[in-house]
Each structure stands twice: as structure tokens, then as C-alpha cells.
A and B are shown apart, each in its own frame.
Chain A
């Protein structure tokens, strides 16, 4: 038995793993379309433009996250089909790396640095205050869709510890009392 179920010999498709060229088959965008077709087109163009897709999954995911903002199931499956690899493999990589996210992001991303330097200067208290003020946990989005809260590892501004970053703007030497002021700047 085993490999010989009902007379058919199962051939393991080894070539799938060494596929080096983007697939020529047409891949249709998912049925439940949340994103405009242009976004999928942009991603498809990027993949088609690659010399080889061997070992390029992470690069493609970076690009996809850049286009879509996050990596929902449909986008992951789209990439899997395009590369001719199992969806599980794509999901395996997406879930492994903390940089990739499968949840949509708020309008502003608040990153509280939890590197060691910030931690010993009280970053944990800042994070707690943020959670309390926003009513969410880390990696969640507020109800109004305005903020996503993240705790990140060291953004390298240790001289200013503790540090909070909202989108690209860095707030240094943050005190717990200042949390409200920071949030209000983005709440207009």
C-alpha cells in the first residue's frame, strides 16, 4: 500500500521545489476580491520581472506587504499559485517572521521600543499606558482603525531611550504622562 493507493503510483512532484521560472499559467485573482486588480497586477509584474524565483519567496513577500499593507490569506495563496508551491509553505514563512503581518494595519502604527536599553529605562510602563489608553493589546488595531500598537525590538535610538515611534516619527525620552499628548497629535 502506502505509495500505491488504488493502483496509482503517487509521483512526488520534486520539480516543484526547484522551479526557477515564474509560472506561465494564468493565475486569476481570488474570487472574494478585497483589493483592486491593479494591486495584484503590480505584484504579478514584479514576480514576472524576476530573473529567477528560486529562493525569492521572502523578497516577494516584502514586496507584497509593501503593496497591500499586510498579507491576507488571498494574497498568500496568490503568491503560492504564482510560484507553484504549496500555500502552506508560503504561510509557514509568513508566520515565521515577525516583520510579516496577516492583519490590516491602522492609519498610524505606534511602535514602542522594547529593546533592552529602553526596557531598563521603563519602556514596559509606556507600553502598558498605551494599551490602557487605546484599549487594545499589542499587534491589535483600535476600533476606529486609527492606530495599530506594536512592541518592537530595538530601533537603534538607544541614546533616547525609552523610545516610541509613530509611523516614521521618533519620540525620545518619553514619559508615561506624555502618552496622551503623543496620541492626541494624531487624533484630530
Chain B
């Protein structure tokens, strides 16, 4: 679809806002759970693709269709790649570091199903976005 005016642009923004609103650092509502996997060069070379694949496989095996896995760019924490953000409705987003594919199961079981973040993998974020 062609965007020809600011009104049309803003309409698209409204329609899609819920999709990214969830990811701002506050506890806004959303209707599903999202898993953002950092897939820039550094992430991929540390195994982000395998991690991504593991999430997709395990989620489909468990038939958790309301949980989406999304590719995003680099958050800058190269020291702890691959990085994964888990965003659950009504909760603060959680950033995990060093998520090798072996750790995917634990995150799905404990955090996404059980609601208990896996503390030892959490990275603290020290930045603010505009």
C-alpha cells in the first residue's frame, strides 16, 4: 500500500502501535508474549540463529501459538551474545544474555510458562531510549 499523507502514515502507526508498544520499558498491555532475538552479525556468529531456531521448534512442539519469536538488531551487549528479550503481557521486559540453544528450554519452562524469570541469565540494562 502506498502512503501518501501524514494521516495515512499515522493510521498505520496506530494500527501497528500495539505491536511495538509492548517493548517499551514499561508495563504496557499487549495480547501476546514476544521473544526478541538479537540477530546482528555478532549475535549470529555467537549462535543466535540456533537459539532462534530452538525457540521456534520448542514453541511449536508445545503448541504455544500466542508466543511470537521476532528477529531484531543488536542491543550492544556483545559481551553476552546471543541476547534475548522476553516480553510478557503486564510485565517488565527481561533481557537475557548468553542464551545458547541449550538454555532455551529453561527459559520457556520457567519464565514463559511458569512466570519466573531465570535470574542467573538476566542482564541489567543501563540505557535509556528516547
Contacts and interface: CB of A to CB of B under 8 A. Distances in A.
A160 interface: yes
Contacts of A157: 41-42, 45-46, 78
A24 to B, nearest CB: 39
Interface string A142-182: 00000000000001111110010100001010000000000
A156 B46 contact: no
Interface residues of A, number: 10
Dominant secondary structure of chain B at its interface with chain A: helix
B41 to A, nearest CB: 5
Contacts of B78: 157-160
B41 A160 contact: no
B75 to A, nearest CB: 12
Interface string B70-85: 0000000011110000
A163 B44 CA distance: 14
B60 to A, nearest CB: 26
A163 B78 CA distance: 13
A134 B41 CA distance: 28
Nearest to B74: A156
Contacts of A172: 45-46
Contact of A155 (B41, B79, B80): B41
A52 B41 CA distance: 33
A177 to B, nearest CB: 21
A159 B79 contact: yes
A157 B47 CA distance: 12
Contacts of B46: 157, 159-160, 170, 172
Interface of B: 41-42, 45-46, 78-81
Interface of A: 155-160, 163, 165, 170, 172
Shortest beta-carbon contacts, A-B, top 5: A159-B78, A170-B45, A157-B45, A156-B41, A159-B79
28 contacts: A155-B41, A155-B45, A156-B41, A156-B42, A157-B41, A157-B42, A157-B45, A157-B46, A157-B78, A158-B42, A158-B78, A159-B42, A159-B46, A159-B78, A159-B79, A159-B80, A159-B81, A160-B42, A160-B45, A160-B46, A160-B78, A160-B81, A163-B45, A165-B45, A170-B45, A170-B46, A172-B45, A172-B46
